[in-house]
Structure 1
Amino acid sequence: MSAFAGFGIFLVVLLGLFVLRTPVGVALGMVAVAGVAAFVSPGALSQLASLSFSISSSFIIVVVPLFIFMGEILAATRIGGDLFRATELWMRRIPGALAVGTIWACAIFGSVCGSSPVTATTIGSMAIPQMLKRGYDKSLALGATAAGGTLGILIPPSIPMIVYGVITDTSIGHLFIAGIFPGILLATLLSATAVFTAVRRPEMAPPITERPTWPQRWKALGAIIPVLCLSFMVIGAIYTGLATPTEAGAIGAAGALLIAWVTSQLSRAIIMRSLDRTIRTTAMFLLLLTGGFFSSFMLSRLGIPQATSDALLSLPVPPWAIMVIINLVLLVLGMFMDPGSIIVIVIPIFLKAVQNLGYDPVWFGIIVTIQSEIAAITPPVGFNLFVLKSVTPGANMRIIARGSIIFVVPMLVCIAILTAFPDIVMFLPRLLLGIK
């Protein structure tokens, strides 16, 4: 059986299990175990057991519950509201100020939270009612929040970056640092889209006539200083080499508890709820990661990554054109698969071709993360869309999707810019960590 025929069978069976609502991690594991037994050899199944133990006992995995816990604790406090208040006060004179403030509040919160849905929910719970109260079009209010929420996985820390790093054996610290400039660039492009919409159609974002005083601005800014300090501590510890990503996660979790305690927002109920959500999310993460490694093992033994690389490299087109093809594939898959599934199933197949084209795995990790952001806001399975529908009374999926889809354009523009100028991604890792 050819490699691509085996891959075709793998995809058909996997999609069938998805249709039956089988959890992604379970479906990946089932198909991989059956595939190894049928197409490789029954004796190779013992290697899957060793692989499973190796993954679950890896020290780097400890970073996942730590960053999740940090984000959950902060999401339970008033930090989200303080961030939105500060950003919208400082940007009050800009057209579409509330939408722009929402995007930058998401960007700042994303620096202490590695989850896109948590970021969108935390900031959206404060921002969306305020935008609707001020007469903003519902699609713009929901779209800006959904798109801004995706910054939670591009600006470090980032759970998808951790998944990518573990799956591809890429330094998570390098990925975190590489995500900073692209995160700022994307936040700027999303903000420009909101401003353009407000200028082109003022009725969608009525201007705010009240002008805040400077004391109000400084007071609002002072309320978010703790979260900014926590962000600098976590990322700074990685930059300077004082801490590994795992150790930085411990600093972040402790810092989040301290902020909640100092601001008198820490309670036993908040701790227990945050621990419960952390345990559930970590369990799903480990199951997905294990299933992903199983499928990667099977596909590697079938020679699919090498066959894919050979097929792509044989195309009579320049490297950037091949990257366009890969991005189009990721874009289409993102409409029907969640970001985690894309990373663990598809990325190991494309990675070898990307490296043979001369692109750095760290750079590709950032591109994949932006594609994961697009997947989070594109119907029919965009997770941020469903999250906002559940937390916004009266919102329907059509309105949310219509508002979100316009923000896919700046995300694609960001990918194009980073492809044309990869040094935007690699500058900080090279400067601070000395990588080539």
Structure 2
Amino acid sequence: MKTRFFLLLFLALYSVAHAQTPIYQVSLREQKLVVDKAAFHITEVLDLRVQRQTIGWVQRGMNNIRIPANLQGGLQDGLGGWLQMQLPPRPGSRPVLLRVHELRIGEVTKATSEKATASVDVDFVVQQPDGSYQVLQRYIEEEESKGLETTGHHDDNIAACLQRICVQFNALDWAQRLALSPPLTKEQVYYRGGRRPVPYDYAILTAPAPPMGIYGTFLNFRNNQLAPAADLVAEATDEPGEVDAYQGSGAARKALDEVWGFSDGQQVYIKRKRHFYALKRAGDDFTYTAQSMDDPGVINTAGALAGVAGMAIAAVTTHGDRQEYTLDMATGRVADFDYLELLTRRDTATVVVYRRPGGPAAPLTVLLNGKELAALPANDFVLIPWTSKTREVSLCLADTDGACYSFIPVFGATTYVELKARTAGEKPLLQYVPQKEGDYYVKKMRRR
């Protein structure tokens, strides 16, 4: 009986220890590549993935708790160093760049077994004497393995994909491929989408530490527009990094509510449900740690972000475990790694400005970020494909005082804005409307 008790205790502690692991590292250190008479060697690995925070998830412990995973050392140094060790320069071998478009792992648990999967999407690029580049070949390989516990199989699966890729590439006819491949510039080769990304220059990223005050919306935070408040009090809860916030003192003291976040003069906090969490700078974004959400899609940190409602955020499927969330400074959404990957794959947001029938006959001029977009008559609409994740959409009506509306659109979805001008005496305005309502009116206009 004692033996069974201690066994259960050990397994429980083992499970807890892994549940608290912040990120699982997949190491290729023990793996080998075998390419007979390799005619190439890799000088550099370029990371062109959509999202680079992780390479997927693993399941750890008795309860199969999901933990984000990464490649030990990262792609450029970890994978690059391993490939250079496995395929060193040799007499006559030709230098190439390896670009990684995707490298993902995953695990699926069934009743009596697990399955580990890996997917690798890469291409090989050669630099020509004139400084231009040419893509030789792109390869996509997948591998899976099954067992009772498969977390330890991920390095095998990744290596198996790379093994097949390198063997195929070693047999490639370079002359034939080069004849078909157009020349590319260094920028086209080194950056996803063929251009260097625009660095974020939001005010909150460049300003000194903000004083004590309140952020009403995400845009207020991003633009560092703080409403001064000298009577804020933050009280720590039992959870690390979590506080409750109050305004006033004595009988006038009340819980801070209906805000996006606040600063106590030293630390900035974001509101999530009833509590506030300390934001930590992470490159051009911010992160915070909190208990994972109980039901997917409930959080909407961008909800107060300029009236754009209904932006439900995907949530993690575990319950009660601590989870790191990222505040995406381009979009205002808070998400775990899975949702960020979904979000970044959607490259275009659609904004539709429409005007219902009736009202003044004369068209009203709509400005987009200060420039004329369209002269919109009644019973008509204009569609805006929006691709910038570094700028908010700012719509205004020409020759009107304050008839403007600024917001961050949802990438991969349609945001509807109605130009309301129902009577000649009514001041026209721009107003967000729910997608279902916008769909209804715009479909009627399309049928005209």
For the superposition of Structure 1 and Structure 2, which TM-score range results when normalised by the shorter chain?
under 0.3
Superposition TM-score, scaled by structure 2 size? 0.25
Answer 1 or 2: which has greater helix percent: 1
Superposition TM-score, scaled by structure 1 size? 0.26
